[in-house]
A and B are shown apart, each in its own frame.
Chain A
Amino acid sequence: MFSNTLFMLSAALTLGGAFAVVYSQNLMHACIYLLASLFGVAGLYACIGADFLAATQLVVYAGGVVILMLFAIMLTGGTGNKINRYGLEKVAAMGNKKTYFTAGFAAVVTSLIILKIIASVLRAQPSKELAANQVTVEKLGTLLATDHILAFEISSVMLLGALVGAAIISRPRKEKHD
């Protein structure tokens, strides 16, 4: 009962947020709707008992990614005039009837195909009852430090690359004296 309600709310928040992101004409507002959508995804994780994943979703996306996106939009002036001096739309409208119809149709077809593919798997394994609030942190930590150590290390190398890249870009350029 309670988990069903939570699932409904989270799903509504996720889908509503995602729809609002593509519907809104203002990049800044789209970013805020994206925040709502990401919160919904965190709620979905909480529904299936992945508490650590849900909290990570909050920390990484709400705290980090959305703020960085807001900064990027603000510094690039994303919400200025939508029409340039020749009267043309600079940012193509993301939502009109044609795109909604095409996207909706594509989504229905894709989901039907995917359902057809995984139907045998779904039938073979009847859905199990979730154990209530198991501690997933320790298992995740152990797996990350043993089985998936390579993926863990590679992602840290990628972060290091991003760090070095940011440092190089933001470094003041030296004047050439010849």
Chain B
Amino acid sequence: MNSTIFSYFSQSKELSTIISGLSKSLGFDATSLVAFIVFAIACLVVVGALATIGGLGTYAERKISADLQARQGPNRVGPYGILQFLADGVKMILKEDIIPANADRFTFILAPFLCMIGVFATLAVVPFSSGFTLTDLNVGIFYLVGMASLVGVGVFLGGYSSNSKWSMLGGMRGASQIISYEIPATITIISIVLLAGGLSMGTLIGGQGGMPQEWYMFHNPFAFIGFFVYFISALAETNRAPFDLPEAESELVSGYHTEYSGMRFGLFALAEYIEVFVVCGVATALFLGGYKVPFELGTGAILVEKLGLDIMLAKNIGQVLELGSFFTKTFALYYVVIWVRWTLPRLRVDQLMTLCWKYLTPIAIFNLLGCAVWMYAFNGKSIYSLIFETASTVAGHH
């Protein structure tokens, strides 16, 4: 059985009393009903939180870019302008919703929703903490890759249906770029799957520890290179600078969403910012130890032992620590993504394809082979434990 958020909550006594009480008063087994309600609430929380993070992402982007360019940035709405994204949202909703006369109506309306569906569907397996993962599918990371590819369809259809040259070029560039960069990203993911021995997010993170030397990024040299290959591919897959050719302002006005206005444009932008968060989260989960906290604080066992806390309370504290760990790492990567955007100039199309097919893909395949050889040669031990063992053997011979 896949472990889900419901299986975490069902450890607590309160939930079982609620279930038994409901079963008595309703006259049937209420476990499925309560599970449904728990899932519904959790989905609402995740979608709401991620939409807020997406909105705050636009604010962070403007504030950080302003910082890098020695400007002020938004500073009128709320303290330090932090409510700017709400003002933007209201503006988007109130704007006139224009559909070009010669656009393909059905596709034009569908495209932003495809982007949104693709991104939000991936949230089902994003591991926020060991308990607060909506569901820990057996094929979690594979499902995530498959769902994220819907965004490519959305971008392409958005460009195609607008019936405008800028949109068309942007959509074509977007689709070909997303398809191309999926290959190095997926191969790098496979090399990490090889280290962990499973496709579920729980297995992938379970093989790592809280301390940096236990992360897969520092497991062996190939995984270290793999992190950068994945990060570059993720930047390109989410159409972020320096790979933002699909929406290159200087050539294509605004690329595939040139003809979109109002909230339809807002959905595209929101999907992009949430997708950046998701790929940063995946990078955290695969390479940077995910939600793991040092000294196994996440399980709460040490709190029960040393402080004598209630077991469920200790577990909940552990979950909060894990959430903190995951979000700290992910937001650090998010900052790097924005930082890169305002630092590097945009690539040309041919440079983009050269980088993907002549550099990243061969390096990713080399990393996959390297990881396999490493697992075979060193019995799956990390470089840190190898050094540690050698040192202790040498020290033992005095």
Residue of A nearest to B186 (CB): A59
A28 B138 Cβ-Cβ under 8 A: no
Contact of A29 among B107, B156, B182 (CB under 8 A): B107
* Per-position 1/0 for A119-150, Cβ under 8 A of B: 00000000000001101110000000000000
Q: In the assembled complex, which residues on chain A have CB atoms less than 8 Å from the CB atom of B179?
A: 63-64, 67
Residue pairs across A and B with CB atoms within 8 Å: the count is: 77
- Mask for B62-101, Cβ within 8 A of A = 1, else 0? 0000000000000000000000000000000000000000
Inter-chain CA distance A79–B103, complex, in Å, is 12
Known: A35-B153, A71-B175. A29 touches B106 (CB 8 A): yes
- Cβ-based interface call for B1 (8 A): yes
Question: From A71, which residue of chain B is reached at the shortest CB distance?
Answer: B175
Name the A residues within 8 Å of B2 (CB-CB): 133
In-complex Cβ contact of B143 among A55, A79, A135 (8 A): A55
B246 at the binding interface (Cβ < 8 Å): no
Q: Is the interface of B mostly helix, strand, loop or mixed?
A: helix
Q: Are B153 and A74 in touch, CB under 8 angstroms?
A: no
Q: Which of B144-152, B212-220, B294-302, B344-352 contacts A (4 or more CB under 8 A)?
A: B144-152
**Closest chain A CB from B163 CB (angstroms):** 11
C-alpha spacing A153/B362, complex, angstroms: 21
A58 within 8 A of B: yes
Residues on B with C-beta less than 8 A from A58 are 143, 146-147, 149
Interface contact A74-B160, CB-CB below 8 Å: yes
Neighbouring B residues of A74 by C-beta, 8 Å: 160, 172
Q: Is the CB of B156 within 8 A of A70?
A: yes
Contact B152 A67 (CB under 8 A): yes
CA–CA, A59 to B107, complex, Å? 22
B139 adjacent to chain A (CB < 8 Å): yes
Given A28-B104, A29-B107, A51-B139; A70-B146 close (CB under 8 Å): no
Q: Is the interface of A mostly helix, strand, loop or mixed?
A: helix
| A51, A56, A132, A136: most-surrounded residue (chain B CB, <10 A) | A51
Establish whether residues A70 and B157, one from each chain, have CB atoms under 8 Å apart when the complex forms.
yes
- The answer to whether B32 has its CB under 8 Å from any CB of chain A is yes
- In angstroms, Cα B199 to Cα A32, docked, is 29
Known: A2-B32, A51-B137, A133-B2. A28 touches B160 (CB 8 A): yes
For residue A52, CB closer than 8 A to chain B, the reply is yes
Find out whether the CB atom of B107 lies under 8 angstroms from the CB atom of A63: no
Given contacts A29-B107, A52-B139, A55-B142, contact A67 B153 (CB under 8 A): yes
Can you list 16 A-B contacts (CB < 8 A)?
Answer: A28-B107, A29-B107, A32-B106, A51-B138, A52-B199, A54-B139, A55-B143, A56-B142, A62-B150, A67-B152, A70-B156, A71-B156, A74-B172, A136-B138, A137-B139, A137-B199
A-B residue pairs, 6 tightest by C-beta: A63-B149, A58-B146, A59-B146, A55-B142, A55-B139, A55-B143
Contact residues of A with B, CB < 8 Å?
Answer: 1-2, 26, 28-29, 32, 35, 51-52, 54-59, 62-64, 66-67, 70-71, 74, 79, 132-133, 135-137
Beyond the given pairs A58-B147, A71-B172, 15 more chain A to chain B contacts, judged by CB atoms under 8 angstroms and listed by A's residue number, are A26-B104, A29-B107, A32-B107, A52-B142, A55-B146, A59-B145, A59-B149, A63-B149, A63-B150, A67-B149, A67-B152, A70-B156, A71-B156, A132-B1, A137-B199
